[in-house]
A = this chain, B = another copy of it.
């Protein structure tokens, strides 16, 4: 990946299941936390988007490969990169690493929708610009 955004996440009891490892649905939560922090680093705040702009980002598709499990107390490193940026959508490639081990890979497609109609709408120009400025090498 080309200079992705990096975010660290600690594994807690709540994330594990009776198999003794992180419940696989919870990786989607980790990936979303990383995307939220990536947006925040670009000065885009989702709560404000919903209130001020009446838009929100929703996940259109997710494709995850689970290579190796994370365990209680692990400190994970998440890499997040935009691989495609459209007028109303973003495609992400994300990875979770524990030390030198790649645990999980995700391809996530996000759409921008109106909070009122839940229908697709263009990403507002000022938001798009913030994303482009912050992450131009990746796009």
Using known A-B contacts A13-B23, A18-B16, A23-B13, determine if residue A61 contacts B65 with beta carbons closer than 8 Å: yes
Q: Point out the residue from B16, B28, B48, B115 that lies within 8 Å of A17, measured CB to CB.
A: B16
B62 touches A19 (CB 8 A): no
> Which chain B residue shows the least CB distance to A106?
B62
Identify which of A52-60, A78-86, A123-131 touches chain B.
A52-60
B24 touches A12 (CB 8 A): no
Instruction: Determine how many copies of this chain the complex contains.
Output: 4
**Is A26's CB within 8 Å of the partner chain B?**
yes
Using known A-B contacts A17-B18, A46-B73, A61-B64, determine if residue A12 contacts B33 with beta carbons closer than 8 Å: yes
**Is A137's CB within 8 Å of the partner chain B?**
no
> Which chain B residue shows the least CB distance to A64?
B62
Using known A-B contacts A24-B28, A28-B25, determine if residue A13 contacts B59 with beta carbons closer than 8 Å: no
**Is A72's CB within 8 Å of the partner chain B?**
yes
**Is A88's CB within 8 Å of the partner chain B?**
no
A17 touches B14 (CB 8 A): yes
A24 touches B59 (CB 8 A): yes
Using known A-B contacts A25-B28, A25-B32, A72-B47, determine if residue A62 contacts B63 with beta carbons closer than 8 Å: yes
A contact set with B: CB distance below 8 Å: 10, 12-14, 16-21, 23-26, 28-29, 32-33, 36, 40, 45-48, 50, 56, 58-66, 69, 71-73, 115, 118
